[in-house]
């Protein structure tokens, strides 16, 4: 049964990664409600990722634990920055120029997060 739980964690991590990587198209929308929805989705998915990565790391062999822990810490650092920025921008009434700037900054932060998400997937591939 323990193997099934571990496989479930890895499956949910993969699903969250694919969902988060598909959010890029939504970042061109400057609608306040869309930004709030993206922020909520990001927070929810980061919660699932946190729980599942914690399980995967705790069951990993000692030589992989440090690598996976460092990778998870890096991921959550980027996700937190991206999420906080979405919350701040989503609650302000911004003019068009500021919105354009916020969209580009969010895309930069998203790209950093996406890169780490791809690293997480690459790290889990041998485990699948």
Q: What is the CATH number of the domain that holds 55?
A: 1.20.120.290
Residue 69 has pLDDT above 90, yes or no: yes
* Residue 12: CB atoms within 10 Å: 18
pLDDT tens digits for range 109-125 = 778 888 888 888 888 87
Question: Is residue 47 predicted with pLDDT exceeding 60?
Answer: yes
Average pLDDT over residues 17-31: 77
Distance CA(105)–CA(42), nearest Å, equals 16
Residue 8: both structure tokens together: 């479930």
Range of the domain at 117: 2-127
Question: Could you give the CA distance from residue 17 to residue 114 in angstroms, rounded to a whole number?
Answer: 8
Reported confidence tier of residue 21, pLDDT bands at 50, 70, 90: confident
What's the number of domains the chain is made of? Answer: 1
Check pLDDT > 80 for residue 52.
yes
């Amino acid at each position: 049964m323990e193997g099934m739980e571990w496989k479930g964690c890895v499956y949910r991590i993969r699903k969250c990664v694919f969902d988060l990587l598909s959010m890029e198209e939504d970042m061109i929308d400057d609608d306040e409600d869309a930004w709030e929805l993206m922020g909520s989705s990001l927070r929810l998915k980061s919660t699932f990722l946190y729980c599942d990565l914690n399980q995967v790391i705790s069951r990993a062999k000692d030589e992989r634990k440090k690598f996976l822990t460092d990778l998870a810490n890096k991921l959550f650092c980027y996700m937190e920055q991206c999420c906080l920025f979405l919350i701040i921008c989503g609650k302000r009434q911004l003019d068009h120029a500021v919105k354009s700037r916020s969209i580009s900054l969010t895309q930069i932060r998203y790209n950093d997060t996406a890169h780490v998400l791809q690293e997480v997937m690459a790290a889990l591939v041998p485990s699948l």
